Amino acid sequence: MFTKLAQGAMRKTFKQLAPMTAIVFATQANAGLMLDTGNPYASNTPTPGEIGGYTMTDFALTNLGDLGALTTSVTLPSPLSGEIQFKGKATDPNAAAPDLDMMRETADTTGWWVNGEDHNYDIFTTNVNWVELVLPENTRAFSFNVGASFNGWGWMVGFNDGASKHDIYSSFNVSSTNTPGFGVYADNSDGSCGSISSVIIDPSDWGVGNFSINVGECTASVPEPGVLSLLAVGLFGLGLARTRFAEITA
């Protein structure tokens, strides 16, 4: 094997991946989906105990004997009520859902994940293009961290009423030494009763974990469901890209 660096010839291979995370926001009235101020939360720091006025509760660490490969459908009990359900999801709506090729790991035992909490917790990694996380009913706030074994960048956008696009966070870094956190919540300050219904993830060689949640009944006075269409009115997106350089060989 030899290199041709002296002759100024270097062979590079670029491969870009565009994973995306989407949070679907369901409502009965005109509520907003908000990214918590201070996002992304700095790597190696705990996520806040309160997001958008909602008190957050951490998910418990699973039995360590349950770590490893997961299959087509997996549930994760919520610390409050209900559960998160992970589902393999086809990018083509007419195609069958793929097997959920997902691994359950822990923050403290994954070398490329920076754990800023004083406790261990689950993280979930997969190479399946789309994975849906269905959240418990009446989820008002949800937070998580994103980690990767590679250097990359991320972006976030939001959609109100399923159409109006809003940039929430334009660019952030993620790498094996930087595991930022994010929090989203339903802004019901106008008396509405919004909630987050699901998260769709398109990861590759990266993971999501450190879940915290707020679940609660609405106390605001809102119109009956028959008056307003129960449509998904918000979207939160996260994208990652990475570049790989090939080894220089003869």
Give domain status of residue 247, yes or no: no
Does the structure show a pLDDT above 80 at 131?
no
CA distance 171 to 153: 6
Does the structure show a pLDDT above 50 at 106?
yes
Give domain status of residue 2, yes or no: no
Percent of the chain with pLDDT over 90: 10
The pTM of the full predicted model, rounded to 2 decimals, is 0.70
Give domain status of residue 7, yes or no: no
8 Å CB contact between 20 and 199 = no
Token digits of residue 30? 């005109």
CA distance 221 to 191: 7
Distance of alpha carbon 158 from its chain centroid, rounded?
Answer: 14
Nearest to 172 by CA among 85, 239, 122: 239
Percent of the chain with pLDDT over 70: 48
What pLDDT digit, counting tens, does each position of 68-80 carry? Answer: 776 555 778 889 9
Domain that residue 123 falls in: 13-217+224-242
8 Å CB contact between 188 and 194 = yes
Q: In this predicted structure, what is the pLDDT of residue 174?
A: 78
Domain count, the chain: 1
Give domain status of residue 161, yes or no: yes
Give domain status of residue 170, yes or no: yes
Give domain status of residue 154, yes or no: yes
Give domain status of residue 67, yes or no: yes
Q: Is 8 exposed, middle or buried (0-12, 13-18, 19+ CB in 10 A)?
A: exposed
Q: In this predicted structure, what is the pLDDT of residue 41?
A: 85
Give domain status of residue 3, yes or no: no
8 Å CB contact between 141 and 52 = yes
